[in-house]
Structure 1
Amino acid sequence: MKAIIKIDNLYKKYKNADFFSVQDLSLQINQGEIYGLLGPNGAGKTTLISMLCGLIMPTTGTFLIDGLSFDKNSQQIKKFIGVVPQEYALYPTLTAFENLVYFGSMYGLKGTELKSKINILLERLGLLPFAHKRIETFSGGMKRRINLIAGLLHQPKILFLDEPTVGVDVQSRNVIIEFLKELNASGTTIIYTSHHLVEAADLCTQIAIIDQGKIFISGTPSDLVNQTEGAKDLEDVFLALTGNQLRDVV
């Protein structure tokens, strides 16, 4: 399979930090995968995704996105990647539709094409009746779904998702996961972080467990369970590799 993301010896240390957030990390993600990056708080997941999206620069090391580097091809890469951050990237006093028109216009979409895409995605994710309601009136699950739509209006080849179902109700989570599976089946490669291990085991085709900025193990969910002595599920694997110590961060 074609490698759509290739990472070699990546390091990231923030200014005045005592430790590297990402260190000596090498990874290959193939086209068409749903690749889960799992790890405790502070493991380096968000830092890694932020580098791959071009939001922050690595300290050392290299990576290619579909054969291109941000050093030389940043504008080209940004046209075919989508980013859905953990924090809501929405304007609370605007309606759902107004938010999506704004974000769609940032990708060069406009007019009938943009309105059609917005309506199709709102309907698919159960939000069309609320299209003209302000975001500040939405529940957490509704905001998550709008956040997701905002990141994929331009039909990205690669979609980065940072905790896309955190804080949502079971129904919203189910709708989001089923939609992501459909999106992947249509050809979108998905890179996903989460603390929901049952969800990750169901959704992901490949998983890497990260801690202290390093990859401890990678493979299919079933392979990880089979490779870990005494493990019955992905949670057992996770705890065996990262331990039981609390990872509270501020």
Structure 2
Amino acid sequence: MKKSILIILCILLLVISISFYFNNNVGSAIQLVAKNTKINNAALVYRVYVFGIFALAKAVFEPVTIEDFGGRRVYHLQLKAAALDIFQKYLKLEALLDSYVDMDTGNPVYFKQKVISPGGEAKDKEVVYDQENLVMTIRGERRQIMPDTKDPLSAIYQIRRMNLDNLKELEMNINTNQKNYILKGAVVKKDVLMGKDKFELFVADAGIRRRDKNLYHQSKLNISLINHNKENIPILVKVFASGFYVSAKLVEIK
């Protein structure tokens, strides 16, 4: 009996290890980017894993559009996420994020977020940024912000458009919830050989913490990006927060 349990545990451990390896290996994502000739401004589809093992959701960065917003030209960034179809009957989990980014400054002027939790209740958030006066408004309250403050979507979009070749350190101000956060970390360039092809892989490993240095509000972000047609394509995103680990891997371009 004990021997059977031990064998089952060993098999389970092996399956988990293999799953973790493939879910966090960038090789297939690099090949996906390399063979796609129309990746610029395409929809990027990611599979979201809990603890890097269990596939739970799908997230899609929609193609960027140019629109008029409040009398200025903006980039409209949009991310849609939902539980995988197999879980939809049991887990109602959806999120829709929109960011409107000033084309001249690269800073957001408006951010909104809608999240439908497992209980089916929708939670909305809207943030208006006055970057010139360093003020943001959320739920009717005005808060001071740092210069060039980003929301999560505009932060990732800026990283996608950066020249990372000579960048050793990444630093950004982020605020969508009344408190000012700083994202700061190192950027490392690696040459990846796959067959006869060589690819530039950039890995940004950053910490995210509150400006007031509150020790209970810290997380880590690790992003792997491939430079393709002068754009940095995120192929693997890892987030560590409060003992929880979530990763998102690029699985489709459309």
Q: TM over 0.5: same fold?
A: no
Structure with larger RCO (C-alpha < 8 A, sep 6+): 1
TM-score, normalised with respect to structure 2: 0.27
Report which of the two has the higher share of strand.
2
Look at both structures and tell me which one has the larger radius of gyration over its CA atoms.
Answer: 2
TM-score, normalised with respect to structure 1: 0.27
Report which of the two has the higher share of helix.
1
